[in-house]
Structure 1
Amino acid sequence: MSKDEILEGQRLKTIAHGAGLTFIGSVVGYGLKYILSIVLARFLGAQMVGLYFLGQTITNLAATISRAGLDNGVLKFIPSYQVHGQEEKVKVVVVETLGFTFGVSILISTIIFVTKSWVARFFEVPGLVKIIPFFAIALPFVNLMTVAAALAKAFKRIDYSVIPVNIVQPLLNLLAISLFFLLGFRIFGALVAYILSLVLTSFLSLFYIRRLSPGKYTRKGFLQIGSLVIYSLPLLLVSFLNFITMWIDTLMLGFFKGAFEVGIYNAAVKTATLSSFILVSFNAIFAPTISELYSKGDMKELGRLFQTVTRWIVVFTWPMFLFILLFSKDIMLLFGKEFGIGSTALTLLALGQLVNSAVGSVGYLLVMTGWQKLMMINTLGICFLNILLNYFLVPRYSIDGAAAATGFSNALFNIVMLIEVAIILRVQPYNVKFLKPLLSGVVASLIVLLLNSIVPAFDSVIVFQAIFFIAIYMRIMLAMRLENEDKVIIESVLRKLIIRGGSIG
């Protein structure tokens, strides 16, 4: 085995290990949030759950603005101070970031509370005025939790970031909501449960940050917030554009249609984006590898890793898309009978997510290789396109129009970046090895469709169908033989499980 092959294998193991850590937290978090969405929809119905999601979206927009990009800024300042041994300045950044964010959040929460009637009239959604005050109370704690998670990442403690946000908060929220629903409370119980889960998680996050930066905090030298805000404000623009791109469909539906449509649409969104944690998991660890290889000028190795990582992402996301395509209506009915009309929207959104996953880490390839301005232009352009498409399609086609606008914008955004990466960096993610997962998925789909047509009882339980479909897909994949790089990731994961299992067996 050559030196280059050994180094490539080591990098693949690093990516597999790092992605695995993020993957576990993401799976649990997305799973809990998805179950929570089903519980909310089942107990509240489309109209009330639509109010809940619309209020949450408005609050998240306010939270993005009130953080002023500081959750991204600390990722630069804290590591920089640590490298130079300036621990006092690290403490300054921690205290001032949390204090500034909490103070601005209180101010914006007050403004939201005072203007709640105007906001409700703007959307012309009955009942929204009663929902907004609860989310205004939640706003400061949303930001405390988010900024504390960013601080944990800056300290290179991903576990302290993932556990509170991805596991503790959704789990507490789910437990509290279930308890309130059992006691007979409906929307009031859901709102109080949300606030309680955020308050408790915020305290846990602050406890973690205190452990990461122990010692005495003084007021000496508390002069960093100005520099931090100046640095972070451009990042606020990026965060704001990303938020608008992600949530303009929900806001437009609330404005042009109503809470009922928002409720059904958000059920489709949460289902379609279930697969996104796979891309996020691999991006989290592949991003620094991109920077490392590009700085060394090793574009050949970067291209090979790009192809391998993208194929791994497709291996996991392709069957999820196919299953949604086959059973979109059955999946939507999990939320309740009235949600069945969202099946077309679910398919359109899932298609956009598939393109997002199928192009791999193209966004990070641009950012990590010095093309941030081009990325900003891309984001700005797609944001305006998404707004325009939603503006024209939502009034005419309702939830299907919102899904078409968002799905198309998402797909076009990623295709444009894929072309830019191919032209600028001369790398592309595809090779003949992609045929294995693609063919495996198609064959598995045909087998499931055949069983559906000849075995009437087969389509009675959606969970059973999902397990059977994945089992068939994986069996076909294995029958086609694994690639060498696939063996690397599987061996790495199995070794990790065996070590952690210890005495098991």
Structure 2
Amino acid sequence: MTGRSPAAPEAGDQQVRGMARGGVLNLASAVLSQVALFLVLLVLARALGLREVGRYAQVYAVLSLLGLLSLSGFRAGLTRFVAVHLADGEPAALRGAIRLGLGISAAASTVLAVGLAVGAPWLAEALHDPRLSTGLRLAALCLPATTICEAALAATRGWRTQRAYALVGQVYEPVARLALTALALALGAGLTGAFWALVVASWSAAGLALVALARMVRRVPAARPAYRPGELFRFSTVSWVSSLSSTGLIWVDALLLGFFDYGADAIGVYHVATRLVTIAVFVLAPVNASFGPHLAHLHHQGRLDEVRRIYRVATGWVVRLSLPAFVALLVFPEQLLRLVGGPGLAGGAAVTVVLALGQLVNAATGPCGTLLNMSGRVAVNMVDNLAALLLNILLNLWLIPAYGILGAAVAWAVSLAAVNVARVWQVRAQVHTVPVTAGMVKGLVAALFALGVGFGVRWLVEGWVAQLTVGLVAIVAAYLAAVLALGLSREDVMVLRSVTRRGGRQAGADQSVGVAVGSGVRP
């Protein structure tokens, strides 16, 4: 794209506003999701102890890895090709892509689930904990449901609406899991009851996701499905390797700690620390989910100026919304760990700080991986993720025997930082921009001010409960005051106005997309 038409600035504003509305919905639901998942962890730790939390973490790691394996890359593929077929006005191709993606993912997950159920005793022995066998078999029962749910919700995001993804995936499933887990523990069902809670929540969420997808497909003009397996498989196969490597980077540490026989207690501490850090960067996933379909639509139409703009805007949101949580993790790691599991977790403070630094780099580089995927550069993203996974495994094999969970944290943080720095340069070569904006710099300055305030509270206030309570309030207040004092950008003001206006904006956006499909006009 060599120039911009007079209407281009307004078109760019519309894309930013549309992404903002979806992003705010995702963000609100992600807050609820992370709170619910944190409470699941808290309930398990308080009721059953760290050893059972460690077992839960290992089983969930296996479920997550097999979920990516069975989804076969169709999660990103479904979002991208639904968005592309909508842009091109091709309802037949859209229906064919959805049927292929859902059918193959369901079949693959069923085969893997049977394999996991049969091999559960062997895998439990390999992890040096025979008591994992029951949990692994229940994870096998969950696997088809989680795969179908994610595939269906990925397809709905191709309509550039985040409603189903937010309400089913980010609100219903984690809240249902929390309620059912608490009920199971109250009835004395123990860790097995917690896994059954996961089973029920997963299958009910899958049913709701399929209903939501069916309603959206009914808006598309009727047509005999046109199957184009070549383009979908090429994209999805590479995306599958990329996603599997990325998920492996998240969960391989817990599995390797089990293989090195560090015990469920140490793995429990590590899992709590990773969950805390994940909460800090929770904003990345909802912004990515909102950013991806818009990016696929714009890049497919060659509107690179708008691609560059929403990439910078999305990165700015991720950084500025995440920074207060990172400041809290750096100032009060012991206090936050004690809040979850008592004094026994305080030894994981160094692990928490190291993991937080790695995730801070991840947040600061923004949705660069999503940009590579949705613009069709999935092979580049695959190589990045494979390299990061290999680096993480090698560092874990070197550092875990000598340093235990701290070594695992260092391996993970270094690998995550390296892959994201590499992606920034790749995105720069592709779209000729970097995700550094004035708003991001202002956010970093505000975070440094809040960091100083937080350490001041820690030095002046006695008692870990008082330190944490006063400190969190002071960090948020100092950060917001500094951000406002430094001034909001034009995009910030536009987004705030957009998301606070009343009316059926989202419904209108969905309707316009449906009309565009029927007429063949690009929305």
Task: Tell me the TM-score normalised to structure 1 length.
Answer: 0.87
Q: 2:280 aligns with which of 275, 285, 301?
A: 275
Whether 2:349 is the aligned partner of 1:343: answer yes
Distance 1:450 1:498, change over 3 A: farther
Deviation of 1:137 after TM superposition, in Å, equals: 1.6
Whether 2:60 is the aligned partner of 1:67: answer no
Distance 1:84 1:112, change over 3 A: same
Give the Cα–Cα distance (whole angstroms) in 1 for the partners of residues 452 and 200 of structure 2: 47
Assess if the C-alpha contact under 8 Å between 1:362 and 1:417 holds in 2.
yes
- Map residues 82-481 of structure 1 onto 2, 5 A cutoff: 94=98, 97-214=101-218, 232-256=236-260, 257-287=262-292, 290=295, 306-337=311-342, 338-368=344-374, 371-423=377-429, 425-431=431-437, 433-456=439-462, 459-460=465-466, 462-481=468-487
Deviation of 1:30 after TM superposition, in Å, equals: 1.8
Give the Cα–Cα distance (whole angstroms) in 2 for the partners of residues 294 and 234 of structure 1: 19
Deviation of 1:79 after TM superposition, in Å, equals: 5.4
AA matched with 1:407:
A
Distance 1:39 1:260, change over 3 A: same
- Name which of structure 1's ranges 192-201 and 372-381 shifts more when overlaid on structure 2: 372-381
Deviation of 1:48 after TM superposition, in Å, equals: 0.9
Q: 2:495 aligns with which of 484, 489, 493?
A: 489
Deviations 1:235-294 (A, max 9, x none): 322222222222211111121123222211111111111233322333334445556776
- Name which of structure 1's ranges 473-482 and 231-240 shifts more when overlaid on structure 2: 231-240
Deviation of 1:474 after TM superposition, in Å, equals: 0.5
> 2:513 is matched with which residue?
none
Whether 2:57 is the aligned partner of 1:53: answer yes
Deviation of 1:230 after TM superposition, in Å, equals: 6.5
> 2:521 is matched with which residue?
none
Distance 1:235 1:437, change over 3 A: closer
Structure 1 unaligned spans of 5+: 501-505
AA matched with 2:182:
S
Distance 1:307 1:93, change over 3 A: closer
Deviation of 1:385 after TM superposition, in Å, equals: 0.7
AA matched with 1:396:
A
Deviations 1:361-382 (A, max 9, x none): 3334444555443333222211
Give the Cα–Cα distance (whole angstroms) in 1 for the partners of residues 373 and 312 of structure 2: 18
> 1:503 is matched with which residue?
none
AA matched with 2:425:
I
Distance 1:281 1:203, change over 3 A: closer
Assess if the C-alpha contact under 8 Å between 1:97 and 1:225 holds in 2.
no
SS of the residue aligned with 1:17?
A: helix
Distance 1:166 1:285, change over 3 A: closer
Give the Cα–Cα distance (whole angstroms) in 2 for the partners of residues 300 and 74 of structure 1: 25
Deviation of 1:347 after TM superposition, in Å, equals: 0.9
Deviation of 1:98 after TM superposition, in Å, equals: 3.9
Assess if the C-alpha contact under 8 Å between 1:345 and 1:400 holds in 2.
yes
Assess if the C-alpha contact under 8 Å between 2:453 and 2:474 holds in 1.
no
> 1:33 is matched with which residue?
37
- Name which of structure 1's ranges 339-348 and 87-96 shifts more when overlaid on structure 2: 87-96
Distance 1:346 1:498, change over 3 A: farther
- Name which of structure 1's ranges 395-404 and 296-305 shifts more when overlaid on structure 2: 296-305
Structure 2 unaligned spans of 5+: 1-5, 507-523
Give the Cα–Cα distance (whole angstroms) in 2 for the partners of residues 290 and 230 of structure 1: 20
Deviations 1:52-81 (A, max 9, x none): 111121122222222333334433555566
Give the Cα–Cα distance (whole angstroms) in 1 for the partners of residues 411 and 83 of structure 2: 40
AA matched with 1:266:
H
SS of the residue aligned with 2:258?
A: helix
% of aligned pairs identical? 26
Distance 1:463 1:159, change over 3 A: farther
Assess if the C-alpha contact under 8 Å between 2:316 and 2:437 holds in 1.
no
AA matched with 1:188:
T
Distance 1:328 1:137, change over 3 A: same
AA matched with 1:141:
A
Distance 1:104 1:15, change over 3 A: closer
Assess if the C-alpha contact under 8 Å between 1:149 and 1:162 holds in 2.
no
Give the Cα–Cα distance (whole angstroms) in 1 for the partners of residues 493 and 159 of structure 2: 32
Distance 1:421 1:145, change over 3 A: closer
Assess if the C-alpha contact under 8 Å between 1:248 and 1:390 holds in 2.
no
Give the Cα–Cα distance (whole angstroms) in 1 for the partners of residues 311 and 72 of structure 2: 33
Distance 1:122 1:154, change over 3 A: same
Deviation of 1:225 after TM superposition, in Å, equals: 7.3
Give the Cα–Cα distance (whole angstroms) in 1 for the partners of residues 303 and 234 of structure 2: 35
Deviation of 1:170 after TM superposition, in Å, equals: 0.9
Assess if the C-alpha contact under 8 Å between 1:26 and 1:281 holds in 2.
yes
AA matched with 1:342:
G
Equivalent pairs, count? 496
Assess if the C-alpha contact under 8 Å between 1:458 and 1:465 holds in 2.
no
- Name which of structure 1's ranges 39-48 and 153-162 shifts more when overlaid on structure 2: 153-162
AA matched with 1:327:
F
Assess if the C-alpha contact under 8 Å between 1:287 and 1:368 holds in 2.
yes
Give the Cα–Cα distance (whole angstroms) in 2 for the partners of residues 90 and 4 of structure 1: 28
Distance 1:79 1:129, change over 3 A: same
AA matched with 1:328:
P
Deviation of 1:355 after TM superposition, in Å, equals: 0.6
Deviations 1:75-105 (A, max 9, x none): 3555566678776775565556444433433
Give the Cα–Cα distance (whole angstroms) in 2 for the partners of residues 263 and 146 of structure 1: 27
Assess if the C-alpha contact under 8 Å between 2:76 and 2:373 holds in 1.
no
Assess if the C-alpha contact under 8 Å between 2:457 and 2:467 holds in 1.
no
Give the Cα–Cα distance (whole angstroms) in 1 for the partners of residues 140 and 186 of structure 2: 26
Assess if the C-alpha contact under 8 Å between 2:74 and 2:236 holds in 1.
yes
Deviations 1:448-477 (A, max 9, x none): 332333343685263453233202211222
Distance 1:62 1:313, change over 3 A: closer
Deviation of 1:191 after TM superposition, in Å, equals: 1.3
Deviation of 1:318 after TM superposition, in Å, equals: 1.8
